[in-house]
Amino acid sequence: MKIVYILLVSFFITTAINAEIVKNSANTLKDIKTGYIWQDTKDTADKKITFGEAMAYCKDLDLDGLTSWEVPGFTEMFSIIDTKAYNPSISKKFKNIVPKDYWISKTFGNATSKEAFVVNFVSGAFNRKKMDDASYVRCYIK
């Protein structure tokens, strides 16, 4: 019974949280459900960088006059995962996507393991990765 309850709650959360993505500019998309603005430039599909570089990259990003970019956390990243799609498991509105690992701003074990979380856009699964390894980053603004 507990499993059924968890599955039902997960289904309703997933249904309620799925993004409604619209074009915001040539370089950005907006989720009108959350209000988040997402970067969608060639860098999001071309630039593989370490966790530290990803944090600095988003902090320093100036895109379309917007300067408050961040590496997304679990909640933000989960909002753009398309749970009904596979390879890539992200809205088709995103044009610059590689079905690989993208950094999430959260570290594992307070970074004592030197690992941070990633989402893999083949399946939308979250995992952890060494912070010195290179992955992609997609910045967002709240």
pLDDT value of residue 115:
97
Q: Which domain holds residue 94?
A: 2-141
pLDDT at 5 over 50: no
Q: Is the pLDDT of residue 13 over 80?
A: no
What's the domain count of the chain? Answer: 1
pLDDT higher than 70, residue 38: yes
Domain at 19, CATH number: 3.10.100.10
Would you mind telling me the total number of residues written for the chain in this entry? 142
Across the beta sheet with 140-141, the strand order is: 21-23, 28-31, 37-39, 140-141
Inter-CA distances, 105 with 9, 110, 121, 131, Å: 25, 12, 16, 11
pLDDT at 6 over 60: no
pTM given for the model:
0.85
Task: Please state, in angstroms and rounded to a whole number, the distance separating the CA atoms of residues 43 and 69.
Answer: 14
* Torsions phi, psi for 81 (to 5 deg): -75, 130
pLDDT, averaged across the chain: 90
CA distance 133 to 29: 27
